[in-house]
């Protein structure tokens, strides 16, 4: 928020990434006021006179435009030979700034919408150094903006504090009905079950049980004490041991280094294939050879991973465990 008791310098900066310079100025404890976009790569802003020296030391591509504010006119007043004229100018500027908008702050999470509101306000003659609004003007502006952006916002509030106009809004809440997948949880791949982490549903298999793709793990039907079948939404994870054989080769250079490099490549490729949640439990080299200036390696892996997925179970798997 601008303070009417201070003077400010207006700068423009031409850059592709304005966020970089905002972070740079923030690290140097320089606060920007009334940051606005002039064109595709040009932005303007105000800084306090006392921060100008720090700002210029950052070597940012800045262009000084002008100075504004009472402190600036006071300085000119004392340097002027005609002090009376300076005093009159200062009083006039002070009175003018008290009656006009010096800052605009939009409180909302939609960056694109914030820029659109700023542009729309100019159409309504609400901009930097425009005259302050009356209560009736604020009420009319609230209704106009709420109607203009009714598809984006549910609520908007506008109020003045000092020389700053605040506009805050809440995003539109769209009620979405998400249809839950009530199908049972079945095995995605061949595995031996290690652990259940089930939030809902009836477990139909057991730990250390061998399962194949499509075998029923968690049922979506529960039979009550009154022999009533209740359909539920199965949810959770089933971790099991799975197996992978991976073979890879490399041009031979140094046998020891090549072996370690090849083994690491195989291990990393498998981990990327499975995702970060899966865990390699065992690693065993099945075959290692050097043929035609190439080193070949075949490795067997036992992996612990989530084998649960929603789907239709195998027809032959109809028994409960």
pLDDT of residue 148: 86
How far is it, in rounded angstroms, from Cα 259 to Cα 267?
Answer: 12
Same domain, 72 and 120: no
Q: What is the pLDDT of residue 79?
A: 55
> What is the reported pLDDT for 200?
84
Q: Are 139 and 242 within one domain?
A: no
**Same domain flag for 46 and 152:** no
Query: Which of 140, 171, 202 represents a domain boundary (last residue)?
Result: 171
- Give the pLDDT confidence of 113-150 residue by residue, as tens digits: 888 888 888 887 777 666 777 788 888 888 888 888 88
What are the backbone angles phi and psi of residue 159, rounded to the nearest 5°? Answer: -155, 160
Q: Which residue has the higher pLDDT, 13 or 89?
A: 13
Q: Does residue 21 lie in a domain region?
A: yes
Query: Considering the domain boundaries, does residue 2 fall inside one?
Result: no
Q: What's the whole-number average pLDDT of the chain? A: 80
Q: Which two tokens stand for residue 165?
A: 């106009």
Which of the residue ranges 234-238, 263-267, 312-316 would you say has the lowest mean pLDDT? 312-316
Within a domain: 93: yes
Residue closest to 264 by CA, chosen among 305, 304, 297? 297
Q: Does 242 map to a domain? A: yes
pLDDT band, residue 226 (cuts 50/70/90): low
Residue whose structure tokens are 């070597």: 59
Torsions phi, psi of 48, nearest 5? -65, 150
Average pLDDT over residues 209-219: 92
239 pLDDT more than 90? yes
Residues 290, 243, single domain; the answer is yes
Strands across the sheet with 202-203, in order? 202-203, 216-219, 185-187, 308-310
Residue 215 has pLDDT above 70, yes or no: yes
Residue 178 DSSP class: P
Count of CB atoms situated within 10 Å of the CB of 154: 12
Would the pLDDT of 2 be above 50?
no
Q: Tell me, what's the pLDDT at 283?
A: 92
Asked, for residue 22, whether it belongs to a domain, the answer is yes
Helices marked H in the chain — which ranges? 18-27, 52-56, 70-79, 83-98, 111-123, 135-148, 255-274
Q: Within this chain, do residues 231 and 307 fall inside the same structural domain, yes or no? A: yes
Asked if the structure places residue 159 within a domain, the reply is yes
Token output for 216: 């029923």
Domain end (from 74, 98, 122): 98
Domain count along the chain: 3
What is the mean pLDDT of the segment spanning 161-180?
71
25: containing domain: 8-98
Task: Give me the mean pLDDT over the 18-23 stretch.
Answer: 87
Output the six-digit token pair for 91.
């009083």
Mean pLDDT of 156-171: 82
CATH number of residue 125's parent domain: 3.10.20
Q: Which of the residue ranges 135-144, 151-160, 222-231 would you say has the lowest mean pLDDT?
A: 222-231
| CB-based contacts of 124, cutoff 8 Å, min separation 6 | 141, 144
Q: Which of 94-103, 208-217, 228-237, 287-296 has the largest mean confidence?
A: 208-217
Q: Considering the domain boundaries, does residue 3 fall inside one?
A: no
Question: Which pLDDT band holds residue 320 (cuts at 50, 70, 90)?
Answer: very low
Final residue in a domain of this structure, among 58, 81, 98: 98
Say which residue, 146 or 99, is predicted with more confidence: 146
Same domain, yes or no: 49 and 185: no
In a domain, 1, yes or no: no
In the predicted model, what is the mean pLDDT of residues 67-78? 63
191 and 73 fall within a common domain: no
pTM of full prediction above 0.75: no
In this predicted structure, the answer to whether residue 299 has a pLDDT above a threshold of 50 is yes
Residues 202 and 146 in one domain: no
* Per-residue pLDDT, 86: 59
The reply to whether 130 and 224 lie within a common domain is no
Q: What is the CATH number of the domain that holds 38?
A: 3.30.70
pLDDT band at 202 (very low <50, low <70, confident <90, very high): confident
Q: Kindly state whether residues 203 and 313 are assigned to the same domain.
A: yes
Kindly state whether residues 149 and 272 are assigned to the same domain.
no
> Strands 103-107, 164-171: parallel, antiparallel or unpaired by DSSP?
parallel
Read off the pLDDT of each residue in 264-292 and give the average, rounded to a whole number. 89
* 161 pLDDT above the threshold of 80: no
Shared-domain flag, residues 226 and 268 = yes
């Amino acid at each position: 928020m601008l303070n009417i008791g201070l003077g400010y310098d207006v700068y423009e900066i031409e850059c592709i990434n304005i966020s970089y310079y905002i972070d740079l100025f923030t690290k140097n404890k320089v606060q920007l006021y009334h940051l606005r976009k002039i064109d595709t790569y040009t932005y303007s802003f105000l800084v306090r006179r006392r921060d100008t020296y720090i700002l210029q030391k950052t070597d940012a591509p800045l262009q000084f435009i002008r100075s504004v504010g009472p402190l600036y006119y006071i300085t000119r007043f004392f340097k002027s030979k005609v002090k009376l004229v300076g005093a009159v100018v200062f009083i006039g500027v002070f009175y003018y700034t008290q009656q006009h908008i010096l800052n605009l702050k939009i409180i909302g999470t939609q960056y694109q919408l914030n820029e659109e509101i700023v542009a729309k306000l100019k159409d309504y003659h609400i901009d930097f150094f425009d005259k302050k609004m009356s209560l009736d003007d604020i009420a009319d502006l609230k209704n106009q903006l709420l109607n203009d952006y009714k598809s984006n916002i549910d609520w908007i509030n506008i109020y003045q504090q000092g020389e700053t106009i605040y506009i805050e809004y809440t995003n539109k809440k769209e009620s979405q009905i998400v249809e839950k997948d009530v199908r049972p949880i079945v095995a995605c791949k061949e595995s031996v079950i290690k652990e259940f982490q089930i939030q809902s549903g009836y477990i139909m298999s057991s730990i250390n049980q061998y399962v194949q793709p499509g075998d029923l793990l968690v049922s979506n039907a529960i039979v009550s004490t009154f022999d009533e079948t209740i359909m539920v939404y199965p949810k959770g994870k089933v971790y099991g041991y799975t197996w992978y054989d991976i073979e890879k080769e490399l041009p031979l250079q140094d046998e020891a280094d090549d072996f370690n490099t090849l083994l690491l490549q195989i291990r990393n490729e498998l981990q990327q294939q499975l995702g970060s949640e899966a865990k390699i439990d065992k690693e065993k080299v099945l075959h290692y050879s050097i043929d035609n200036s190439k080193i070949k390696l075949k490795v067997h892996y036992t992996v612990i991973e989530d084998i649960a997925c929603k789907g239709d179970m195998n027809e032959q798997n109809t028994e409960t465990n």
